[in-house]
Every structure is written in structure tokens, then in C-alpha cells.
Chain A
Amino acid sequence: MSEALTARAPAPSELFLRFTQVALSGFGGVMPFARRMLVEERRWLSAEEFTDALSLCQVLPGPNIVNLAVCVGARYHGVRGALAAFAGLMTAPFFIVLTLGALYTQYGHLPAVSALFRGVSAAAAGLIVAMGLKMAASRRLRSAMALFAVVTFFGIALMRLPLVVLLFAVAPLSVAAAFWRAK
């Protein structure tokens, strides 16, 4: 870690607050807000460092945004920083979503509410389909590599294979193919 970075290292309490802010401004996806806060507003990371950290968080298992908070927090204050950033990201949304859940249990049986939710659930499903297609388009998924996406879809959606089984079978082949193509 360079001197310049240490000099403007945010305190754990600031990490907590900023990540709370990020979490609360994001509906259906927090990452763009995290980027704006980290790169443009606070300048805790350069654009390049952000891309680098994001690539790590996408490779590792687990929610990308949670991983990113851990990365950024750890960079400044080790375990303490990681915990502060993580807690900031999760605490407020956790209680909000549980409140919504409680309200839904209370009123979900009302015909109007369940009718409303049939509509919202259908839209939420469409959002995921779009996420998959968007990623396929933006990373120019073609040819042999697209085959791995098809096999994954077939195995999980239609054959209902356990994810562990499929990951062990497909991911190494896919990574090997990417390695071979890059050479």
C-alpha cells in the first residue's frame, strides 16, 4: 500500500456509512452506485483499480458487491475495515427487507396484494433473464465458449443437476478452453 493511499485512508466508521449509502441507493443492483462512490466521489480507488478489484470479485464465489466491500475495507483496515464495509452494506437493507417480508406475511393473503405480486414476480423473473442475455452480449459470447453456457443452462434448468456437480464438470473445461484460446 502506498503512502498516498494510507494518508487518505477512510476510518472504519466512514467505510460503514458510505457503504450504507451505496446499499440504500441501489434497487435491483448496487454495483453502479458502488463504482460512483468509490471512483468518482470518494476516489478511494482509481478506475483501473476498481476494474481490477471487480474482476476479482466476479471470479470468486459469493455476491460480487459483498466481495467488493470486503476488498475495499480490507485494503484500508484489514479485518476491521472489511467488517465495517460489509456491515454497512448489509445492515440497513437487511432490516428493510425483513420489514417488507413481515408486511407481506401480514397482508399477502389479501387478494389485491397477491394480485399485485403476481405482476411484480413476473417482472422480477424477466430482470434475471435480461441479466443473463446482457452478460452474453457484452462479453461477446460466441462459438465454442457459448457452448459452455448452453451446457450449463441445459444441465441446471432442464436436467436439474446439482450445481456442484455441474461446476466441477463444466468450469474447468471452460477455463481450459479460455486459456487455450488466449495463447
Chain B
Amino acid sequence: MNEETLAQLALDFSVLSLIAVGGAVTVLPEMHRSVVEVHGWMSGAQFAELFALAQAAPGPNILVVSLVGWKVAGLSGAVVATAAMCGPSCVLTFAVSRIWLRFRGALWRSAVQDGLVPVTVGLLLAGGYLITLSADKSIVAFAITAATAAIVLTTRIHPLWLFAIAGLIGLAGWV
């Protein structure tokens, strides 16, 4: 069962790697779909917790993938999921980085850049929506989500402070 699971992780995350337009966070909905809905490896709430854990740790956002792999199949799961998520896109970047500079100022290059922006925005908002539904089980939780979004948008306070405050509100038993 374990090897099968690892193969499944490798397959799912290599596909995610190649469709992660605009970065790791944009594939959250798809990751959620695969991990929670298709394979039933964990509940939506557990997925949201792993995401929060990865956000609270230093390093690239993509580490949520390591945690998901670890949760599903231990250390080897973490390694396989991380390698699968980074491998294909890294190879592609390596290959394309050599020619990209040559097309500076090309019309198609800026069209590709501008055209992907709305897709990325839609994916980020969809990810935010789905994670919110998974994470928030009370009115106070929804209020924390809304307040965090508003504060991040309007001030330059470091998100880690907001995590700390939200954690304290949780600890007080209000969420």
C-alpha cells in the first residue's frame, strides 16, 4: 500500500508542479481536491491545519506540500511529494531561463505575463475561499479570516503577528 501511495503522490504532485501557474498557492484548490476529495488521505480541516503550519514556518510556501506528503506517507512521502512538486517546474525553468532574456520587450512575452495575471488572481481567491471554508467553523473564525485579509491589505504589519494574535484568540476558546 505504501509504495502505491508514494507513486500516487509522485504522480499527483508532478502534475501539480506543471500546472502551478503563478506559484504554489494557486494549486491549493487542486491539492485539496486530490488529497481530501479524491484520495481521502485527510479531512479538509487537517489540510487547512497543515497549510497554517507551513505558513507559520520559515521558508517557501511550497513546504505545505512536504507536510502533506509527510502526513500521507511519513518522511519518504515528504521527500517524494516535495521532489515531485519542484522537479518538473525546475527543469522547465532551467531550460527556459536561457532563452527568456532574448525576448525582452517582445509583444508575446508581455501578453503571456499580463494574460496569466487574472488567472492567478482567480486561483488565489479560489484557494482563499476553499481554505476558509475548510478552516473556519465559527463566526469568530470567519471574522479572523476577514480581519487578517483586511489588515494585510491596508497595513505593513508582519503576518506572523496576526498569526500570534489569532492563536491567542483561539487559545482563549473563542474560535
Contact = CB atoms under 8 A, between A and B. Distances in A.
A102 to B, nearest CB: 8
Given A59-B116, A163-B19, A122 B58 contact: no
A125 B107 contact: no
A166 to B, nearest CB: 8
Interface residues of A, number: 96
Contacts of A170: 119, 122
A97 B63 contact: yes
Interface residues of B, number: 110
Interface stretch (A6-14, A19-27, A35-43): A19-27
9 contacts: A60-B93, A115-B171, A117-B170, A128-B28, A129-B132, A130-B148, A149-B119, A167-B19, A175-B111
Interface of A: 23-30, 52-53, 55-67, 70-71, 74-75, 79, 82, 86, 89-90, 92-94, 96-98, 100-101, 104, 108, 112, 115-137, 139, 141, 145-153, 155-157, 160, 162-164, 167, 170-171, 174-179, 181-183
Interface of B: 15, 17-25, 27-30, 33, 37, 45, 48-63, 66-67, 70-71, 75, 78, 82, 85-86, 88-90, 92-94, 96-98, 100-101, 104, 107-108, 110-132, 134-138, 141-142, 144-150, 152-153, 158-160, 162-163, 165-173, 175
